[in-house]
């Protein structure tokens, strides 16, 4: 990729600060600096969005199309919506399907798949009492073979994240995963705050979709929600779509999260995102799309019908968050939580993956490595 300069924007957000009337310079696909501009051509330039929980998109569900080609289609669908780095997510499935997912991710990464930062295995080692939309017949405790499968594949998959419940995996297993370079996230669990603290001490460093499918915070039993908010070393995802979590609960969590860990946005997107699908399937069950929700026939929420950019808008327009903080929740914070180097920011040395947005946060263009997505010429 050759050197270049972005359009001049009225504002450029580098992940921490705003730069007025400025442009990005880039070379070799990396940001080299932010320079003053003359007349602004666009409203704002912000980092490409980072999503650590992407089950599908563009009509493709990863569980159903567990291949490098499936990952390419999912990455392309989300890239067109402003998300430039994803963890493809496999929802609870068989051991054989998990092996396929690990192989597919390794193959796609080896082939240089744009936007694929790694893999998120959400299950099958969960608490059946908090299974959510996961198929109960596939939920099971972690065995040594499961652990070895994950550890053996981790180095080939980019960033590897595993969501598990303390009820289905031991503290020792979590410690071994963490020591092997696999990030552990607690979720789909009814555990106590005290149990969660023990697993965080063993190496778990994240929690999956805060409030959803986990023990709630009571005044004498703070549960997993309370443990996550009170543990500074832990970050957590949040589905900000107006359906998964109430606005009040989201605002309270954002005010109450102890740092340096952060609450960050995830889409929990399914195949419907970026498509016209009205129905899809998961583990042989039909998921219905209506009114901005994805549900099973019994009304259980089954993933989310939202993109990261829509979640960002929701945080600004409905939760009334400052734009810079909402942007961090969709870019810098997830990148930091997963240790993804070079994404989620636009400082020197970062990947030149950025978006042009209008004043209403409408997407005007996506640049990957300094080149406009879909164009042959550098921006």
Paired sense of beta strands 371-372 and 363-368, if any: antiparallel
DSSP state letter for 137: G
Q: What is the 3-state secondary structure (H, E, C) of 8-69?
A: CEEEEECCCCEEEEEEEEEECCEEEEEEECCCCCEEEEEECEEEEEECEECCEECCCCCCHH
Q: Which residue has the tokens 């059946």?
A: 128
Distance CA 73, CA 196 (A): 36
| Burial grade of 289 (CB within 10 A; 0-12, 13-18, 19 or more) | buried
Q: Tell me the domains of the chain and their CATH numbers.
A: 4-47+346-372 (2.30.40.10), 49-338 (3.20.20.140)
- The whole model's pTM is what? 0.96
> 82, 362 in Cβ contact below 8 A?
no
- pLDDT per residue, tens digit, the chain (379 aa), is 467 999 999 999 999 999 999 999 999 999 999 999 888 999 999 999 999 999 999 999 999 999 999 999 999 999 999 999 999 999 999 999 999 999 999 999 999 999 999 999 999 999 999 999 999 999 999 999 999 999 999 789 999 999 999 999 999 999 999 999 999 999 999 999 999 999 999 999 999 999 999 999 999 999 999 999 999 999 999 999 999 999 999 999 999 999 999 999 999 999 999 988 898 888 888 989 999 998 989 989 888 899 999 999 999 999 999 999 999 999 999 999 999 999 999 999 999 999 999 999 999 999 999 999 875 333 2
Report d(CA 84, CA 55) in Å as an integer.
15
pLDDT at 375 (0 to 100): 56
Residues pairing with 78 in the sheet: none
Q: What digits encode the pLDDT tens for the residues 202-244?
A: 999 999 999 999 999 999 999 999 999 999 999 999 999 999 9
Q: Distance (Å, rounded) from C-alpha 47 to C-alpha 100? A: 32
How confident is the model at residue 283, as a pLDDT?
A: 85
Whole-Å CA distances, 91 to 94, 125, 129, 163, 289: 10, 11, 16, 10, 18
Instruction: Kindly state the helix (H) or strand (E) to which residue 365 belongs, with its residue range.
Output: strand 363-368
Rg (CA), the chain: 20
SS3 281: strand
pLDDT at position 378: 31
β strands within 206-262, DSSP E: 206-207, 235-238
pLDDT score for 377: 36
**Residue-wise burial string across 336-348, b where 16 or more C-beta atoms lie within 10 A, e elsewhere:** bbbebebbbbbee
List the catalytic residues.
268
In eight-state DSSP terms, residue 210 is: T
User: 145: Cβ–Cβ under 8 A, 6 or more apart, which residues?
Assistant: 95
């Amino acid at each position: 990729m050759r050197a270049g300069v972005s359009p001049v924007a009225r504002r450029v957000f580098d992940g921490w600060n705003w730069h007025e009337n400025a442009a990005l310079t880039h070379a070799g696909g990396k940001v080299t600096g932010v320079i003053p501009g003359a007349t602004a051509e666009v409203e704002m330039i912000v980092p490409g969005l980072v999503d650590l929980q992407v089950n599908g998109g563009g009509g493709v569900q990863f569980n159903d199309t567990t291949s490098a080609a499936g990952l390419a289609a999912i990455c392309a669908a989300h890239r067109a919506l402003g998300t430039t780095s994803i963890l493809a997510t496999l929802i609870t499935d068989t051991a054989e399907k998990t092996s396929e997912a690990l192989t597919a991710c390794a193959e796609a990464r080896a082939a240089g798949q744009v936007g694929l930062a790694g893999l998120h295995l959400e299950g099958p080692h969960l608490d059946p009492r908090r299974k959510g939309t996961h198929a109960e017949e596939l939920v099971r405790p972690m065995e040594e073979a499961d652990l070895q499968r994950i550890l053996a594949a981790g180095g080939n998959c980019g960033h590897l994240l595993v969501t598990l419940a303390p009820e289905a995996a031991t503290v020792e297993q979590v410690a071994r995963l963490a020591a092997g370079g696999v990030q552990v996230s607690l979720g789909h669990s009814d555990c106590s705050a005290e149990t969660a603290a023990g697993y965080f001490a063993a190496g778990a460093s994240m929690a999956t979709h805060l409030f959803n499918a986990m023990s709630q915070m009571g005044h004498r039993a703070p549960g997993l929600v309370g443990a996550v908010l009170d543990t500074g070393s832990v970050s957590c995802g949040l589905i900000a779509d107006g359906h998964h979590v109430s606005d009040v609960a989201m605002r309270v969590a954002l005010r109450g999260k102890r740092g340096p860990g952060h609450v960050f946005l995830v889409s929990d997107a399914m195949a419907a995102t970026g498509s016209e699908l009205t129905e899809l399937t998961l583990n042989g069950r039909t998921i219905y799309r209506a009114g901005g929700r994805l549900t099973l026939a019994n009304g259980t929420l089954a993933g989310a019908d939202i993109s990261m950019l829509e979640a960002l808008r929701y945080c600004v327009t409905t939760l009334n968050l400052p734009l810079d903080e909402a942007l961090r929740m969709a870019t810098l914070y997830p990148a930091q939580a997963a240790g993804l180097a070079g994404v989620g920011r636009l400082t020197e040395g970062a990947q030149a993956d950025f978006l042009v947005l209008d004043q209403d946060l409408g997407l005007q263009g996506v640049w990957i490595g300094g080149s406009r997505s879909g164009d042959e010429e550098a921006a």
